[in-house]
Chain A
Amino acid sequence: MNAPIIRIRGVSRTYDRSDAARPALAGIDLEVRAGEALAVLGRSGSGKSTLLNLIAGLDRPSEGRVEVDGVAVHELGEAALAEYRRTRIGMVFQFFNLLDDLNVLDNVLLPAQLAGMRREQARARAEELLERLGVARHARAFPGRLSGGERQRVAVARALMNRPPLLLADEPTGALDTASAADVRDLLRGLNEEGQTILLVTHDTALAEACARRTIELLDGRLVRDTADVPSPEAVR
C-alpha cells in the first residue's frame, strides 16, 4: 500500500473568533494515499472548499496539522507556502482562473516560470501537456476564445506543469455544460489511472463516481462519511 500523501489531524477552521461561532471545519482527521483519487462531497457551506484551501496552503487551520507529501503545510510561512504550491500541488478551479491577458501557452508556462525552470525545458513540457490534453492547436489563443471545456483542459495542463504529486480540483465541472463536464471527467480519471493523486471537491456525484475510488462527505464542517471505512465487497466476502 502506498504511503499517505495527505495527512490531516484534528483540523478545525473557524472564521469568526467568537465563542458562539460555528467552525467551517471541526476536528477533521484524514489520510489520502499516493495514487488515490478522493472526492470530497457535501452541500454548500459544508466545508469542502475550506478543506481544499487548507490542503493547498491557501488558508491556515485554526487548530490541527496538515501535512502534504511530508511537508507540514500549517507551519509554513508565505514564501515557503509559495514554494510548496509551486512544487507539491497543482490546482484546478471551477472557473478555470486562467489569466485572460496571457495566451494559452503562456498560462500553462506560468508555474514553471515562477519556479525558475529553464525556458526551453518549460516550453517543451507545456507543449507536451497541451498536446496530451488535446488543446495544442489553441496554444496561441487567448482563454476568452476557448470553450469552457477547453479552458478547463488548459487549467489542468497548467496544474500539471511542475509535475506535482498532488492535483487539487475545486468543482472542476461546476461551470461546464454536460458534454464538457464529461470530457473533463474522463480527463481526470485518465490522469488518476496514470498514477496522479487527485483530491477533488464537487457537488457532482457523477464526477465523484467516475473519477474517485474513495469519497468522503462533509456536513457542517464535520466528516460524516468516508468510503474508505466501508469494507469493500471483496473484503466482506
Chain B
Amino acid sequence: MSALSKVVRAGVGRKRVQTLVMVLTTMMSVTACILATGLLVAAQGPYQRSFTAQHGAHLNVLYDPAKASPAQLAATAGAPGVTASSGPYPALTVQAHAGTDTKVPPPGSPLPPMTLVGRAQDGPMDGLRITTGRWVAGPGEVVFLDGHSPLAVGDSMQFPDLPGKPVLKVVGLASSVSWSADGWIAPEQVAGLTAPGTVPAAQYLYRFAHAGTDAEVTADRAALAAAVPGGALARVTSYRPAQEAANRTASTFVPFVTAFGVLGLAMSVLIIGVVVSGAVGAATRRIGILKALGFTPAQVARAYVGQALIPAGVGTALGVLGGNLLSVPVLGLAHKALRGGLLGIPLWVDVVVAVVALAAVAGTALVPALRAGRLRTVEALAVGRAGTGTGGAADRGRSARRGGTDGRVARGRELIGRLPVPRAFSLGLATPLNRPARSVTTAAAVALGTIGVTLSVGLTLSLGAFQDGLTAGRSDQVLVEVPFDGSTPVDHVDEAAVAKAIEARPGVRAWYSSAPSTAVPAGSTSRSQVVAFSGDTSRSGYQLVSGRWFQGPGEIVVGATFLRANQAKVGDTIALTDHGRSVPTKITGEILATDDMVFVDRATLAPLGNTVHTEASSFHIDLTPGTDAHAYADALDEAVSPMGLTAEPGGQHISIVMLAMNTLAVTLTVLLSVVAGLGVLNTVLLDTRERVHDLGVLKALGMSPRQTVGMVLTSVCGSGLVAGLIGVPLGILVHHAVMPAMARAAGVGVPEADLTVFDLSVVGPLILGGLVLALLGAALPATWAARTRTVTALRTE
C-alpha cells in the first residue's frame, strides 16, 4: 500500500464521527435527490409510459353480438387504421349487491352498476397489473379496477336477482391503463352471471396508427362503426379522457416536486460543502506534518480529496440504495395517483445523481485541499496550537487574528457579552463569529430546510382546504340523498316532507337542497353539469376563486372549465339552453371545480320549464355546534327512509392524488430536515472539536456540564432563529408560487382562502422550527462536549 493510500485510510479511520457525519450527509442528500428526480421523471408522461408498457388500447368497444356475427366482429381487426386488436371477451353490465360479510357498504346494500369482463390477466392488449391480492383462480372470484372498487379485497358481492343467486369474492385489485372494465372474472363465470334472455356483449380492444387527438379518435371510431352492421357498436370508450386526466394530474405534481428538488439540491451542495471543507480544514495541522515528511502539495490535495471521497462514496451508495427503497412506496402512491408512471427509479437517475454528488464532494474538497497543500509547512504545523504558544510573534499574530483585531468581530463579541444572559449562553451566542462563513452556510442550509418545512406545511393546509372546496357538496355534517342505485325515482322525493323532517329535529343551523341537471351554454355543443340549489347555501363550503356567490335567479357561478370552454369570464352574461328554451344568466363568480360545472339558484332554471330536471335529490344540513351529527343523522334517517331516502353524516374525502401529494411533501420534508440537521450537527461538531481546548479551559474554570450543553446549544440559536426568520417568508413565497402553478396545471384557479393558510398560529411555530432544527442538530455535539473529560480537552491541541 502506498504512503498516500495509508494516509487516506488512516485519516478516514481516525475521524470516525466526522466520517460518519459525511456518510450520513451524503446518504440523505443522495436519497432526497434520487427521490425528487425519480418523481420528476415519473411525472413526465406517466400515462404514455404505462400505456406502452401495458399495451394499452385506444378504443374499448362493446359490440352487441345480436347485431353482428363473430366473423364480422373479427374482421374489425382489419378496419382502416387498426394496428392491433384483441377480443372478443364476454362483457356483462350487472347490478350486484354487497355480500353478507361487508362493512362498507352495509351488507346487502345495492352496488353501482358495473361492467364485468371475462378474460385472462395477460393478453395481447391491455395487460392487467395486480396491485393488491391476486388474479381470479376460477369461478366465484372477481378482481376490481384499482381505485374504483366498491368493495375491499376479501369482501363478497351477491346477485340475488340471478338464478342460483351467485356470489363472487373480491380476490384482488388490478390496474388497467385502458380502464377497460370495472372488474374481471373468469370466462367460465360469465354464463352464471348472464340474466336469462340476454347475451353478453363482445368486448374488443383496438390500437390505431393515429389516435393522438380527439379528431383522430373520432375518425377511428367511425372506421369501426363502418366495419360492422348499424347498431352493433353498443358502447365505445376512448383512452383520451383517461390520458388527459392522468397528464393533468401528473402536471400538478411537477411544481412542488421541482421546488423540493431544487431545495434539496441546493441544501445538499451547501451541506456537503460545509462538511467536506470543514473536514479538510480541520486536518490542516496533519497536512503540515505530511508536508514536513515530504508530501508534495499535489499529493496532499489528492490525499484529502480521497479522504473526502471514501465516506462520500459509501454515503452515495447507501443513498442510492435508500432512495430506491424509499421510492417503492412513494412511487407506488404516485403511480396510483397518476394512473401510471414509474414504479422504480430508472438506472440513469441513480447514475447521474451519484456522479453529481461525488463530483460535488470532490469539487468542494479540492478547493480547501489545494489551499492546504499550498500552505507553508510551518504555518500548517502551527494551526491548532493558537493560544498555547509562548507569546512569540507568530503566536501573537495568530492569536490576534482569532482574538479579534477584526474590530467588528470584537465589538460583536463584546455586545453579545453584555447581554443579560448567563455567561455560558453569551459565549455560545458569540461562537458563530469564530467561523462566520461556516455559520452563514449552515444557517443557509437550515433556512432551506425551513423553506421546505414551510412549503410542506403550506401545501398540506392548502391541499386540505382545496379538497374541502372540491368536495363541499359531500362534506356537510348530514347528507340526505337518494340511494345511488337509483332504486327510488327522484320524481317521488317529497321535498316538503323532507324539509319538515329536517326542521322537526333540533340542532339545525342551516340547510339547502341540490338538484343535479344539465344544460347547454348558448353557442356550445356540449352539455355542462348544472347544480340547482334551494335554501340557505351560506354554509355550503363551496369556494370561490373570484367574484361572488349567486344572489338569486338569473345569476350563476361556474367552474374554470366552463369559463374556458365558453371563452367567458366573470361578469359576462351567457344563456343556458335546453330543448329550444333558454334563460339568460350572469356569471357572478368562478367556483373551485374541476369539472364543467354551473351552480345556480333553482329558480333560475324555471324558464326552461320541464325540459331540465330540477327536483332535489340531495339535502345538505349544517348543524349547530355541539349537536351530535351521528345521532341527528340516525334520527333523521328513520324519518326519511320511508320516502326512499337515506340520511348519513357527511365526511371529509381525501383523494388519492391529495394523499400522494401530502405523502410526497412530508417524505421530502423529512429528508430535507434531516440533511439540514446533519449540517448543523457537523458544523457544531467542527466548532466544538476546533475549540475543544478552550472547552477544557472553561471546564477547568468551573463550567458545569449543564452550562457546557447550554453554551453549545446557544451557539446555534442565532443561526436557527435567523434561518427561521428568513426561511419562513421565503417558504411562504415559494408556496404562493407553487400552489397556483399546481392549480393551473389542474386547470383550476386557487381560492384566496386556500392560499392564505399561514396565520400566526402557523407562522410562529414554523419560525421556531428553524431553531428546533438547529437545536436538534446541535444536541449530540453538546452532549459530547459536556462529557469530554477536562484533562483530555486541555491536552488537545
Contacts and interface: CB of A to CB of B under 8 A. Distances in A.
A78 B790 CA distance: 10
A91 B402 contact: no
Contact of A95 (B388, B405, B694, B786): B388
Contact of A59 (B390, B397, B789): B789
Contacts of A56: 700
Interface stretch (A108-116, A197-205, A218-226): A108-116
Interface stretch (A64-72, A125-133, A139-147, A206-214): A139-147
Contact of B413 (A58, A102, A143, A151): A102
Given A97-B697, A110-B698, A143 B703 contact: no
Q: Output the residue of B396, B414, B701, B706 with the most chain A CB within 10 A.
A: B701
Nearest to B705: A78
Q: How large is the interface on B (under 10, 10 to 19, 20 to 34, 35 or more residues)?
A: 35 or more
Contacts of A116: 422
A144 B424 CA distance: 22
B400 A83 contact: no
A101 B791 contact: no
A142 B404 contact: yes
Contacts of A63: none
Nearest to A170: B794
Contacts of A151: 391
Nearest to A102: B413
A110 B706 contact: no
Contacts of B49: none
A93 B700 CA distance: 10
Contacts of B404: 101, 103, 142
A203 B79 CA distance: 108
Nearest to B693: A97
Contact of A101 (B390, B403, B693, B698): B403
Given A100-B399, A106-B417, A144-B399, A111 B701 contact: yes
Contacts of B410: 103, 142
Interface residues of A, number: 43
A84 B704 CA distance: 10
B699 A82 contact: yes
B398 interface: yes
A7 interface: no
A158 B396 contact: no
A121 B707 CA distance: 21
Given A59-B789, A82-B707, A142 B388 contact: no
Contacts of A109: 423
B434 interface: yes
Given A58-B790, A114-B423, A79 B706 contact: yes
A143 B390 contact: no
B596 interface: no
Given A86-B701, A115-B702, A99 B387 contact: yes
A170 to B, nearest CB: 9
Given A58-B794, A100-B386, A145-B396, A114 B701 contact: yes
B702 A97 contact: no
Contact of A110 (B423, B705, B790): B423
A48 interface: no
6 contacts: A84-B702, A99-B694, A101-B403, A114-B707, A142-B405, A144-B398
Given A58-B791, A98-B697, 16 more contacts: A59-B789, A83-B704, A93-B700, A93-B794, A97-B388, A97-B693, A100-B386, A100-B387, A102-B413, A102-B417, A111-B701, A113-B422, A114-B701, A114-B703, A143-B403, A144-B399
Interface of A: 53, 56, 58-59, 78-79, 82-87, 91, 93, 95-103, 106, 109-111, 113-116, 142-148, 151, 158, 162, 175-176
Interface of B: 386-391, 395-405, 410, 413-414, 417, 422-424, 430, 433-434, 693-694, 696-707, 786, 789-791, 794
